[in-house]
Amino acid sequence: MSEGMSNGVTNILVVGIGGQGVMTATEILAEAALGLGYDVKKTEVAGMAQRGGVVTSHLRFGPKVLSPQITAGEADILLAFEPAEAARWATYLRPGGVAMSNTTRLTPPVVTIGLFSYPEDPIAQIRALGVDVFDFDAGAIARELGDLRLVNTVMLGAIADKLPFSAEVLKERIVARFKARRPEWVAVNEQAFERGRSAARA
């Protein structure tokens, strides 16, 4: 996947709604890259209320990274926890970049207060741009596994095979995080990760 990346730097834009685990997912990706010796820079923008507001996270890693900010047309991967957010940020992808989107809809406050209208079919809107988009219902998978908070692990599993390092590296990072904090969550997060990987291949 390193083809087309400038200076061997990988640019990942993670977007969604507050409370979905956008920042946690970015942290785990950053930890995995740091563990492999990459130079890592990340930045977050949480809009309006932390919970329910729009959240955007920029992550860049490579041999040498100067700025944490990804500019439009530069993202290698768009990881979207919510489809309207995927559509809103699709122009940030470089030609040949990959969009991975959860199809579970959550209406952000910007829509509720009338600043932004929810697109009729956000995924079709992205495809119309000529973007390669993988879409699946991560919310349904998380509910099946018993907890909606598993969405971020499902989404990480979904992009695991699109990264410039092994999916196992990312999975180990997730397992290590839960082993330290909530060991009883390790097994279900491993399942969520593998279910995300399978969904992205379907």
CATH assignment at residue 78: 3.40.920.10
Determine which of 111-125, 145-159, 169-183 has the lowest per-residue pLDDT on average: 111-125
- Residue 1 located in a structural domain: no
- Residue 131 located in a structural domain: yes
- Residue 122 located in a structural domain: yes
**Overall domain count for the chain:** 1
Apex 40 CA angle, 38 and 43, nearest 5: 165
- Residue 79 located in a structural domain: yes
What confidence tier does 17 reach under pLDDT thresholds 50, 70, 90? Answer: confident
How do strand 39-46 and strand 54-62 relate by DSSP bridges? antiparallel
Instruction: Write out the residue range of the structural domain in which residue 197 sits.
Output: 6-201
User: What is the pLDDT at residue 18?
Assistant: 80
Q: Is the pLDDT of residue 3 over 50?
A: no
- Identify the bridge partners of residue 55 per DSSP, sorted by sequence position: 16, 46
Tokens (6 digits) for 5: 């990346």
Q: What is the mean pLDDT of residues 128-145?
A: 94
- Residue 177 located in a structural domain: yes
Contact 164, 10 (CB under 8 A): yes
List, in order, residues 6 or more apart from 72 with CB less than 8 Å away: 91, 92
- Residue 68 located in a structural domain: yes
- Residue 155 located in a structural domain: yes
Sign, CA dihedral 129-132-138-141, equals positive
DSSP state letters, 36-96: TT-EEEEEEEE-SSTTTSEEEEEEEEES----SPPPTT-EEEEEESSHHHHHHHGGGEEEE
Compute the distance between CA of residue 9 and CA of residue 2 in angstroms, rounded to an integer: 8
What confidence tier does 1 reach under pLDDT thresholds 50, 70, 90? Answer: very low
Tokens (6 digits) for 129: 């741009």
Sign, CA dihedral 58-51-82-85, equals negative
Tokens (6 digits) for 186: 């390790």
Determine which of 74-78, 84-88, 108-112, 170-174 has the lowest per-residue pLDDT on average: 108-112
